Amino acid sequence: MLKDILSISGHSGLFKLIAQSSKGIIVESLETHQKMPVYFTSKVSALEDIAIFTEDEEVPLEQIFEKIYKMENKQQTTVTSKSSNDEIKEYFSDILPAYDKERVYVSDMKKVLKWYNILLEQNMLNFDAAKKEAEKKESKKAEKSEEKSEPKETKAKAPAKKAAKSTAEKAEAKPKKTAAKKAAKKDE
């Protein structure tokens, strides 16, 4: 769901990865739909790689978006990035009560709320489809692991040896031909 959605330092909003070039990447703004190049010198973060610190672990951004989605009943957040810091902290503690208050700043919380609203506006938050997709991936992984555990038929290695011999024979034959050609040239 968050695959190919990027945050770019120095640019507001979110971007979708369109293509890669030799000097960077091409992105499209989710809000304005304008395409622009982003060079390798820019700091780019994929939303699927971002997590929020808690006292025990790191919680992926997708799980936080899902909690907001359920809490807000599939609507925009009641608290926005322009709300007061106290309101934002209170709202965030409702979403993620164990967030690390020393390492998660209000600016981080504002970004999460803004990103959630942008993704919701663009109809990119579909957690039901994401769960079905994850289940399909799990079943495919299970099938692959079953296939790997089954013994496969072993192929005869004799043809490979013959190929190796024929290659060795060719290598031996070539020097003989060149030596014979040199001798013939000397005779002329």
User: Distance between CA 115 and CA 14 in Å, rounded?
Assistant: 7
User: How many CB atoms sit inside 10 A of residue 95's CB?
Assistant: 23
Stronger pLDDT, 147 or 84, i.e. the higher one:
84
pLDDT (average), residues 62-82: 91
66 pLDDT more than 90: yes
User: Distance between CA 168 and CA 162 in Å, rounded?
Assistant: 10
User: Distance between CA 178 and CA 171 in Å, rounded?
Assistant: 11
Residue 41 token pair: 């010198």
Q: Please report, rounded to a whole number, the percentage of residues in the chain having pLDDT higher than 70.
A: 68
105-115: string of b/e by CB count within 10 Å (b at 16+)? eeeebbbbbbb
pLDDT (average), residues 54-62: 93
- pLDDT confidence of residue 54: 93
Question: Cα–Cα distances in Å, from 176 out to 54, 139, 162, 168, 169?
Answer: 74, 59, 21, 13, 11
Residue 157 token pair: 């290695």
11 pLDDT more than 80: yes
3-state secondary structure of 131: helix
